[in-house]
Amino acid sequence: MNLNYRGHEIRITRAGAWSAELVELSTGAVLPTKVTAEAMEALTVCVERAVCLVDLYLEGERRRTTDSHRARPVHATCGNRQSSGIPS
């Protein structure tokens, strides 16, 4: 399954456990970090983790290009998101 979120493609596979690979759409680059969820966890757990990772990458990019003193933390509650589904 492939999903698009904030300029990234989230490629989700399942071979026992869920796994998500992130691809930056503008460059086609596969990001060097993957997220996983145990087989007994729902697909949405893996999707939420992938969304958090995209947000972290984008925040890192933003911090590199702006004044770091004004940077805000991203998703302090990322692991506790109350999401009901897959991003559009």
Task: Decide if 75 contacts 55 (C-beta within 8 A).
Answer: yes
Asked whether residue 34 is domain-assigned, the answer is: yes
72: pLDDT strictly greater than 80: no
Asked whether residue 49 is domain-assigned, the answer is: yes
Asked whether residue 76 is domain-assigned, the answer is: no
**Count of domains observed in the chain:** 1
Asked whether residue 13 is domain-assigned, the answer is: yes
Tens of pLDDT, residue by residue over 35-55, are 999 999 999 999 999 999 999
1: pLDDT strictly greater than 90: yes
Q: Within 13 Å and on the Cβ side, how many CA atoms surround 38? A: 2
Asked whether residue 72 is domain-assigned, the answer is: no
Residues 6+ apart with CB under 8 A from 57: 8, 22, 31
Asked whether residue 24 is domain-assigned, the answer is: yes
Which residues form the domain of 7?
A: 2-66
* The predicted structure's pLDDT at residue 83: 47
Asked whether residue 88 is domain-assigned, the answer is: no
pLDDT band at 64 (very low <50, low <70, confident <90, very high): confident
Tens of pLDDT, residue by residue over 6-36, are 999 999 999 999 999 999 999 999 999 999 9
